[in-house]
Structure 1
């Protein structure tokens, strides 16, 4: 497959990652749970004289909007301190904590997502006597390299072609054209979701100057392979705005404003037809392996047949740990919908409702969840409900081991290592929303569970679409919020540590 290696095709250009800001969507789940949510036991302890009052820290942060938090004893659930703890607020990506707990309970820690190559007829004379199907099992982590390995495995079975069609099937999960439809079309962290996903359903757009114009292209690069993509294409337009435009058709059509390109670079753009994208890439890889295939067609259902090759994902905790680390929205949506599929739920909106109901059943907490990733700004959950899940469901699920260690920083923004306080937590960021939830091990071995939600929703809702990717003032606002989060944790470690 040297013909489609990274060294040969559009090599040397850095591939970017982008996860981030979301907009509001309509939520369909109720804010109130079917039964009253029981309060944690315990009373709020008074702060020691050396601790700076929390209200002083909040005033100094000057965030506007709302600040709510709860900190509790992680072993008993006793609330130690709270501010607006019962006020529902946007959780941003801390919602991935709830999704992880939901997925682990319904799928199990040993669950692996399968991707299969199935033949509807026997292999005779080096050819499949019938159709070949690339059948997705909902794997959110499938890469171009994995498809390259599957093409090699197909060749190892003696397959050199097919007499019928090449089909792609993504019906293992309900199709979702975009995680949050209120987002601008070009944001790579807001792709489609399907039962057949590839490269987090993103295509790599690359460009470089060539004389007075540009050479542009799209590829599906991974570590070992970077085949060109034919199911999407891009052209340069002489305009100022918008920077990108998109039109869905048989081929996904992108245009980009010339003035936005500079000398050269690359950027991930979202894919809206993931099954055809995966089929397009596999067709190229198979051809390089000596297996010519016809153009991919979407299968309406999964025909029966003989399994020729299979790729299993890593076990679910590994997937969730990476999701927590990189905050991959598509992973959250795929694992959340896969968990709901086990409950017989067949739509994304229905899956969000099912996860909301499950949270109420398991913890007694009310919430209103619009998705599984937190990208939808319409989701609402109170800090107390998040802490309740951390305390009551987190230990059995091994949640702490999935979370990323929180880095403390000095006044200059440099990471401080080797301090007396350890924090494992999940961050969340939307425009003018910054959240943090997880666990603190304070001096003396005291274990705390906490959630801090900050958000200026009115300011967020006022941002025009053209500025949602890089809204003015967001960077400074988030920096102040994160500083406040650290100060609150330091305060709690001082007050409640042994």
Structure 2
């Protein structure tokens, strides 16, 4: 049957081959990117300005898309506009770490002794030495405690030291974030449970029973390095203070209800890891003094137990899937330490090193990052920069296998399970900032690399620190940004891959 689509496609093919009377043959090389199905198909698909207008998103949006097979830039709308990339920055961090450390790199946490051991008694210090492992958890510390017991150790007469100097200490990934958010914890050379502590509360007679612990699948040790006090008030919900070597929290009783739990950020990672390890060691009959955190590496100490992470490839895959900020920062700073031969001076210094690497490696000269996670809104990246990098790495099959599949949705946000376009990409979301960068496979099998950045920096700039938890209008704005991303991907699938 002859329908409108078949007729238009046939006419387009006749025009492209010069088969229509009076139509000159097309030149062998186009002076500009050519749409796969010609100008007729282009006229049937909404233009970029129309798509942007339909999305109804405030602020500025920009994007770029290219054919990964040829590198040909198919479309660029303000592609050289530098915007906050949010968590899309993690794609660069993954590439930086892979090239610097290698896919098989593993982070190692060690238990060391500095002294002499005789008949199960250590006359000297016991050291828990962090190796920058962002995935270390309570279960792993329990394994280390078990291995320590298997050495025959029964008593430690010296100090218990936690070494955290493999990476620089950062109090919060982004100091502009609210104090209570778990996605902006402290960073150092040792981390436990993504530097988060679990706060649990239950209504009890005359008030609330509260607990702070380091829960994992197998263990639930209570901690003393973080304390919580319930206060009779309605607001603010939480307050924080660093006092007496502990994280001191208060919570408003009016916000608690019958009971519940949430993860809170840890600001003293060395103390937290040491606190939990003491509890686990004590379960094996090994009593340790309260932990003392030091940033100088142990000299001459002997390794008696160690734990290694999964290979870096797996760590990065999970980082991109769950968009974990702490993992990104620790992985990025570890790569900088390897490149420089010593720990970076600061998180920002490490991010600058990664930005220099990206400029040299992928010609990303308009990209300037302030961290490795994208949490800091002062970072900038252009769609053109990212797309150029994506095209190059795709030829080596490096990044796309690490990226998370992104479902295509209809106008109501419902997943379209049989959509002909397949997308693997990294999302990025901050208040009034949204990004998406990665790869798409069009209906005809063509693979495209793309980057889409939207930001209303004026709206974001008006927010107070407290408002950044859940700002008015933020969710609706993000929904419009995601709608723009979906419409653009649909458009590119129709124009360049059908």
TM-score by length of 1: 0.89
- Equivalent runs, 1:184-199 vs 2, <5 Å: 184-199=178-193
**In 1, Cα distance between equivalents of 2:295 and 2:403:** 39
Contact 1:189-1:329 within 8 A present in 2 as well: yes
Contact 2:68-2:394 within 8 A present in 1 as well: no
Aligned to 1:347: 346
Q: Which of 116, 123, 132 is residue 129 of structure 1 equivalent to?
A: 123
Contact 1:77-1:391 within 8 A present in 2 as well: yes
Aligned to 1:321: 317
**In 2, Cα distance between equivalents of 1:104 and 1:130:** 39
Deviation at 1:342, TM superposition (A): 1.2
Deviation at 1:215, TM superposition (A): 0.9
Larger Rg: 2
- Equivalent runs, 1:429-440 vs 2, <5 Å: 429-440=429-440
Aligned to 2:65: 71
Contact 2:124-2:156 within 8 A present in 1 as well: yes
SS in 2 for 1:188: coil
1:163 equivalent to 2:163? Answer: no
Contact 1:101-1:394 within 8 A present in 2 as well: no
Aligned to 1:52: 46
Deviation at 1:166, TM superposition (A): 0.8
Provide Cα deviations, 1:257-299, integer angstroms capped at 9, x if missing partner.
1111111111111111101100000000111122111111112
Aligned to 1:97: 91
**In 2, Cα distance between equivalents of 1:139 and 1:48:** 50
Provide Cα deviations, 1:338-391, integer angstroms capped at 9, x if missing partner.
111112233212111111111111122221211110000010111111111111
Provide Cα deviations, 1:81-105, integer angstroms capped at 9, x if missing partner.
1111000000000000011111111
Per mean C-alpha deviation after superposition, the further-off stretch among 155-164 and 274-283 is: 155-164
Alpha-carbon spacing, 1:394–1:289, altered in 2? closer, same or farther (3 Å): farther
Contact 1:231-1:277 within 8 A present in 2 as well: yes
Deviation at 1:153, TM superposition (A): 1.0
Q: Which of 278, 282, 293 is residue 283 of structure 1 equivalent to?
A: 278
Provide Cα deviations, 1:213-252, integer angstroms capped at 9, x if missing partner.
1111200001100100101101011222221111112111
RMSD across aligned C-alpha pairs, in angstroms? 1.5
**In 1, Cα distance between equivalents of 2:218 and 2:480:** 41
SS in 1 for 2:303: strand
1:149 equivalent to 2:143? Answer: yes
1:261 equivalent to 2:256? Answer: yes
Per mean C-alpha deviation after superposition, the further-off stretch among 479-488 and 137-146 is: 479-488
Contact 1:104-1:397 within 8 A present in 2 as well: no
Provide Cα deviations, 1:403-443, integer angstroms capped at 9, x if missing partner.
00001123342222233211100000000111100000111
**In 2, Cα distance between equivalents of 1:333 and 1:146:** 21
Unaligned runs of 5+ in 2: 1-30
Per mean C-alpha deviation after superposition, the further-off stretch among 412-421 and 357-366 is: 412-421
Aligned to 2:400: 400
**In 2, Cα distance between equivalents of 1:252 and 1:270:** 9
Deviation at 1:44, TM superposition (A): 6.5
**In 2, Cα distance between equivalents of 1:102 and 1:76:** 24
Unaligned runs of 5+ in 1: 1-40
Per mean C-alpha deviation after superposition, the further-off stretch among 132-141 and 119-128 is: 119-128
- Equivalent runs, 1:221-236 vs 2, <5 Å: 221-236=215-230
1:294 equivalent to 2:289? Answer: yes
Contact 2:113-2:125 within 8 A present in 1 as well: yes
**In 2, Cα distance between equivalents of 1:221 and 1:385:** 41
Deviation at 1:467, TM superposition (A): 1.3
Aligned to 1:18: none
**In 2, Cα distance between equivalents of 1:474 and 1:166:** 47
Aligned to 1:9: none
SS in 1 for 2:98: helix
Aligned to 1:334: 330
Aligned to 2:11: none
Deviation at 1:80, TM superposition (A): 0.2
Deviation at 1:152, TM superposition (A): 0.9
Q: Which has the higher contact order (CA 8 A, sep 6+)?
A: 1
SS in 2 for 1:48: helix
Alpha-carbon spacing, 1:143–1:397, altered in 2? closer, same or farther (3 Å): farther
Aligned to 1:215: 209
Aligned to 1:490: 490
Deviation at 1:399, TM superposition (A): 0.6
Deviation at 1:49, TM superposition (A): 2.5
Contact 2:246-2:268 within 8 A present in 1 as well: no
Contact 1:118-1:132 within 8 A present in 2 as well: yes
- Equivalent runs, 1:17-28 vs 2, <5 Å: none
TM-score by length of 2: 0.89
1:358 equivalent to 2:354? Answer: no
SS in 2 for 1:131: strand
Deviation at 1:332, TM superposition (A): 0.5
Aligned to 2:10: none
SS in 2 for 1:196: coil
- Equivalent runs, 1:347-496 vs 2, <5 Å: 347-365=346-364, 366-396=366-396, 398-496=398-496
Contact 1:44-1:79 within 8 A present in 2 as well: no
